[in-house]
């Protein structure tokens, strides 16, 4: 994987959601290089001709960057392996293939590489023999930015509020293991506080639904470890102590049994997965306000986030590289690179640089960046995460160490 002629599938971040073909265009030492790239509905090594459907086939040399956007729309009508949210049967362990297979061929039609697009609902447990002894702060953790901003925004704000097009459940089933949550508090008719996910000042969905999806996923995937980051508290502008305490108690009531409690002897790069599994826990909760992490030992300190606040891809890359080169970043238990572009206030007024467009600018580059940065990377977040291959790359690099 990730060698000469290797292939992977992504989904374009724009609304059309076309399948994208990606491959390494270089020629290997034995002179074998990809001549043809094709997209099929199944594994052509195992199925008969009558069951095989060829979506598209292209000449690799006509696309020297190793990238081609098809006109085939990504369709996820049902998750395989009993991983639909409402399924009553246990989900199958291991990667589960979707009906999209990419193949690279030599000139004489010998297969160089073949990969499916897949969900990875149990990838940490699947690789427990190689991942168990590793500290979580040394792993590459694929995450999403504004994770729960995936449904519910008012129509006129959607282009600048919705950062994901998959639910929390789907994100976790695909293999996301870091969730970036921004918490807001609203007061209902009887003046009782109700906690919601916000994108800045825009209300998106209730926290209750997000917690339900997390809980259901962990019930079905007991060896997966999540980092749930209470990254920001945008509403009200000033959270009083009693509101923070109410939210913390609410969270503990809902997800407390999964919370991994920190201790004074923890390694500088956090616990190993074996240690987390031995405690029969699944979630490391981090909190933006240090005073509450001092008060509640199941809340971990705030994570350093690298946010470039730019609309320029090159500026984003340079900012993230500078962040990764800092001594303080290397010494921190966790760190998160926020690998997304941010529209300006003027962009919103002029209806330009919408979030999908900006994600489409970044995502085709992001897999290659992280592959090059490799061991320096911990948490990586992105918008419209199916536009990159970070989940499979993280699994590959983590299990190869």
**Are residue 212 and residue 332 in the same domain, yes or no?**
yes
As for how many domains the chain has, the answer is 2
Is the same domain home to 78 and 155? no
Whether residue 238 sits in one domain with residue 149: yes
Residue 342 lies in a domain: yes
- Joined tokens for residue 268: 């500088």
Is 219 within the bounds of a domain?
yes
Q: How far is 203 from 46, CA to CA, in rounded Å?
A: 48
Residues 139 and 103 in one domain: no
299 with 163, same domain?
Answer: yes
Q: Are residues 138 and 225 in the same domain?
A: yes
2 within domain boundaries: no
Final residue of a domain: which of 75, 104, 119? 119
Give the whole-angstrom CA distance, residue 198 versus residue 292.
21
| Residue 277 resides in a domain | yes
Spatial separation of the C-alpha atoms in residues 38 and 280, rounded to whole Å: 44
105 and 135 belong to one structural domain: no
Task: Kindly state whether residues 60 and 141 are assigned to the same domain.
Answer: no
Domain that holds residue 380: 123-400
141-144 and 18-23 strand pairing = unpaired
**Same structural domain, 209 and 272:** yes
The low-confidence residues of the chain, meaning pLDDT below 70, are 1-2, 29, 31, 49
Boundary-marking domain end, from 95, 119, 143: 119
Whole-number pLDDT of residue 221: 97
Identify the CA nearest to 119 among candidates 375, 399, 395, 368: 395
Instruction: Count CA atoms within 13 Å of residue 189 on its CB side.
Output: 0
**Is 21 a member of any domain?**
yes
Distance CA 142, CA 384 (A): 12
Domain CATH code at residue 24: 2.60.40
Position 29 scores a pLDDT of 67
C-alpha–C-alpha distance, residues 283 and 257, integer Å: 9
For residue 340, being part of any structural domain is answered with yes
Kindly state whether residue 1 falls inside one of the protein's structural domains. no
CATH code, domain carrying 359: 3.20.20.190
82 & 142 share domain: no
The answer on 233 and 101 residing in a single domain is no
Domain boundary among 119, 134, 161: 119
Query: Which residues 6+ apart lie within 8 Å of 194 measured at CB?
Result: 185, 186, 187, 188, 206
pTM, full prediction: 0.96
Same domain, yes or no, for 227 and 108? Answer: no
In a domain, 196, yes or no: yes
How far is the CA of 240 from the CAs of 185, 228, 244, 247, in angstroms?
A: 11, 22, 7, 11
Task: Give the position of tokens 């002029």.
Answer: 350
């Amino acid at each position: 994987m990730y060698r000469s002629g290797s292939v992977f599938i992504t989904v374009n971040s724009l609304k059309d959601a076309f399948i994208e073909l990606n491959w390494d265009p270089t020629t290997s030492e034995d002179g074998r290089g990809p001549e043809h790239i094709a997209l099929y509905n199944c594994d052509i090594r195992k199925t008969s001709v009558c069951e095989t459907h060829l979506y598209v086939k292209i000449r690799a040399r006509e696309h020297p960057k190793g990238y081609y956007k098809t006109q085939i729309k990504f369709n996820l009508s049902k998750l395989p392996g009993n991983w639909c949210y409402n399924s009553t049967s246990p989900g199958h362990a291991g990667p589960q293939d979707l009906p999209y297979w990419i193949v690279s061929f030599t000139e004489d039609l010998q297969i160089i590489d073949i990969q499916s697009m897949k969900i990875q609902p149990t990838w940490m447990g699947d690789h427990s023999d190689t991942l168990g002894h590793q500290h979580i702060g040394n792993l590459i953790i694929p995450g999403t930015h504004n994770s729960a901003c995936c449904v519910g925004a008012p129509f006129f704000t959607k282009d600048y509020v919705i950062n994901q097009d998959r639910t929390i459940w789907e994100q976790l089933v695909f293999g996301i293991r870091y969730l970036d949550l921004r918490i807001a508090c609203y007061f209902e008719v009887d003046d009782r506080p109700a906690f919601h996910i916000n994108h800045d000042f825009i209300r998106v969905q209730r926290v209750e639904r997000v917690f339900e999806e997390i809980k259901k996923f962990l019930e079905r995937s007991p060896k997966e470890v999540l980092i749930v980051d209470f990254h920001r508290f945008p509403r009200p502008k000033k959270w009083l102590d009693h509101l923070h305490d109410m939210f913390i108690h609410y969270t503990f009531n809902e997800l407390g049994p999964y919370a991994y409690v920190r201790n004074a002897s923890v390694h500088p790069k956090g616990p190993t997965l074996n240690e987390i599994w031995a405690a029969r826990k699944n979630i490391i909760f981090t909190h933006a306000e240090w005073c509450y992490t001092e008060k509640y030992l199941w809340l971990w300190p705030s994570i350093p986030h690298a946010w470039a606040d730019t609309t320029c891809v090159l500026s984003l890359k340079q900012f993230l590289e500078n962040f990764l080169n800092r001594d303080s970043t290397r010494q921190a238990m966790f760190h998160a690179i926020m690998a997304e572009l941010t529209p300006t206030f003027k962009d919103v007024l002029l209806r330009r640089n919408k979030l999908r467009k900006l994600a489409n600018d970044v995502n085709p580059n992001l897999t290659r960046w992280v592959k090059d940065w490799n061991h320096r990377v911990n948490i990586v977040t992105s918008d419209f995460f199916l536009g990159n291959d970070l989940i499979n790359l993280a699994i590959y690099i983590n299990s190869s160490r």
